[in-house]
Amino acid sequence: MSNGRSLKEVLHIHAQWLEGVATASRGILEAETLNGLPLQGVNLRSAILRGTTLLDAELSGADLGAAIVDGSDFERAILSGADLCGVQMSDTQLGFSWMPGSLWADAKIRSSGFQKANLRNARFQNAVVESCRFSGAALADTSFHHARLATCDFTEADLTKAQFLRAQLQACRLWAAKAAGANFNNSRLKACNCAKSDFTEARFVQADFGGSEFDRCLLHGADLREAQLSGVDFCHSDLSYARFRGAKLFATDFRGADLTGAQELTAAQLTQARTDERTTLPNGTRGPYSRFSGAERAVVAR
């Protein structure tokens, strides 16, 4: 390696440092090239990686918890089951990496790329993720409980049954995402672009959609009870058989939307919302909605 030591020696000294040996030193991998190396289960907890490349490296089961990773490249690396809890990562590339079941709880991740990465069943609880790219990533069954995500790009990502319970999403892009069955209960989606996404039977109970766009979305059977939907754009979206009990619908835009069979909508809610002649109302008739018309009564589900 560039510092005159072998990788094995650096890892050995780092392990001693983790154990509190006074003469040992923290592992630092700076501007090293470790492409394709078999490093299964390697212990790099609290290590520092700066400008290091690990293209195609085998790091399954590795421990990178609380590590500092800056300007490094893990493209196509295998990190299945790896522990990255508490990692501080910035300007790092993980595109096309294989990371199912990886752990990222309490991580702080900024300006990093996860394009086309496999993150199925990964865990990002309480993580802070800013300006990261997840376009085309596989994130089915991934957990973002209590996470804070800002200006992240999930374009065309697979978020099927992903968990965003009490998560905060600010100015994120979920354009054409596949999020059927996802759980956004008690989440906050502020100024997010979710156009053309599939949220079939997703849950948004008590969620806040403030300033977000959901036009041309599939929301068939979605649970929107007690959600804050005021001013949200649902133009041309499929909201058939969705649930709306207690939802706030002041100036909500349902123009061209399909509300066939929508459940628990009241006349007061629909009067506050925007509908037009292209809107299909809960009873199957065309809009716009007129008070006392009874069109808020849902047709029986097929």
Each residue's pLDDT tens digit, 2-23: 778 899 999 999 999 999 999 9
**Is it the case that residue 271 has pLDDT exceeding 90?**
yes
**Is it the case that residue 94 has pLDDT exceeding 60?**
yes
pLDDT in tens, 224-269: 999 999 999 999 999 999 999 999 999 999 999 999 999 999 999 9
> Mean pLDDT, the chain, as a whole number?
96
**Is it the case that residue 302 has pLDDT exceeding 70?**
no
- What's the pLDDT at 2? 74
**Is it the case that residue 70 has pLDDT exceeding 70?**
yes
- What's the pLDDT at 189? 97
- What's the pLDDT at 17? 97
Residues in contact with 232: Cβ distance below 8 Å, sequence separation at least 6, in sequence order? 209, 212, 213, 214, 252, 253
Q: Which residues of 246-258 are buried (b: 16+ CB within 10 A; e: fewer)?
A: ebbbeebbbbbbb
- What's the pLDDT at 3? 74
- What's the pLDDT at 299? 80
- What's the pLDDT at 1? 79
- What's the pLDDT at 301? 59
Q: In 3-state terms, what secondary structure has residue 29?
A: strand
pLDDT in tens, 126-169: 999 999 999 999 999 999 999 999 999 999 999 999 999 999 99
pLDDT in tens, 180-220: 999 999 999 999 999 999 999 999 999 999 999 999 999 99
Compute the average pLDDT of residues 176-182: 98
Write out the E strands in the chain: 28-30, 48-50, 68-70, 88-90, 108-110, 128-130, 148-150, 168-170, 188-190
User: What percent of the chain is modeled with pLDDT above 90?
Assistant: 96
pLDDT in tens, 73-90: 999 999 999 999 999 999
C-alpha 150/C-alpha 129 separation (Å) is: 6
Nearest to 113 by CA among 99, 98, 132: 132
Do 81 and 102 form a contact (C-beta atoms < 8 A)?
yes
Compute the average pLDDT of residues 101-109: 98
